[in-house]
A and B are shown apart, each in its own frame.
Chain A
Amino acid sequence: MKFSIVIYAAPYSSEAAATALRFSQAALKNGHEVYRLFFFGDGVHNASRLTVVSQDEKNIQQQWQQLIDEHKLDCVVCVSSAIKRGIVDKTESTRYEMNAVSAHENFEVAGLGQLIDATLNSDRVVNFG
């Protein structure tokens, strides 16, 4: 089946982002397709490339990046949620003359249309917040 997964929660503040990550891993392992990961609201913090965690903790952002890399996943961070939370890619950074990029390159910063598109093209949309 084709899944899209929507993540509303920042990592570490609650379990939801980690749950979404494990769910995505399990879906792929079971042979399903992940059509899109969509990060919305505080969920955009999952896209940060500027994180360090203590040695006994798992880095959730890095695990997302690995999963996306490994399976070439389509992965979108909502632009309106992202830029107000300091998650900017090269395009937004240039547009607002910020001189810094905080979003990992695996994540595309785009509009809510990509979420609507995901609901139109997936068999199941599963939300985690």
Chain B
Amino acid sequence: MTEELSSKPGNKKSIAFITRAAPYGRGNSKLCLEMALACAVFEQEVNYIFLDDGVYQLLRNQNASDIDSNSLGDTLEALELYGIENVCVDENSLRKRNLKAEDLLDNIKLVDQNTISSLLTQSDCVFNL
């Protein structure tokens, strides 16, 4: 990206993303990720939160080549590399869907709703889709 921001350097905000859509079926999971990656490129502090059906994005063994998509899991596995360090999943959403930590990609923090609630409170801006 070669764009420049009109804001002063050092202007850093904390931006939270709640990703609530399952992968592939609708475009929202991809849009949410695009926004978060852009935030990271522009060196904002990003909190990335998987909620509701969004937790399905984290399942291991995704192979979307036969539906002509890139596997979302591959990108999600590399979030830290892109500068998105705080990645967490709502344990309540997992429980409801009969999923366990070992079903998911590595390096994802399981958190409770109070933790998510305070993350939202601390963030300057929240995107939810």
Any A–B CB pair closer than 8 Å: yes
Contact A41 B27 (CB under 8 A): yes
Query: Which residues of chain A from 41 to 84 have a CB within 8 Å of any chain B CB?
Result: 41-42, 80-81
* Bound Cα distance A42, B26 (Å): 11
* Bound Cα distance A114, B41 (Å): 12
Give the size of the chain B interface in residues (CB under 8 angstroms). Answer: 24
Query: Which residues of chain A from 96 to 127 have a CB within 8 Å of any chain B CB?
Result: 110-117, 119-121, 125, 127
B-side residues, CB < 8 A to A, are: 1, 3-7, 11, 13, 15, 27-28, 31, 34-35, 38-39, 41-42, 44, 124-125, 127-129
Could you list 30 A-B pairs, sorted by A, with CB under 8 Å? Answer: A6-B127, A40-B35, A41-B31, A42-B27, A80-B34, A81-B31, A110-B3, A111-B1, A111-B3, A112-B34, A112-B38, A113-B4, A113-B41, A113-B42, A115-B35, A115-B38, A116-B5, A116-B42, A116-B44, A117-B6, A117-B7, A119-B125, A120-B7, A120-B11, A120-B13, A120-B44, A121-B6, A127-B127, A127-B128, A129-B129
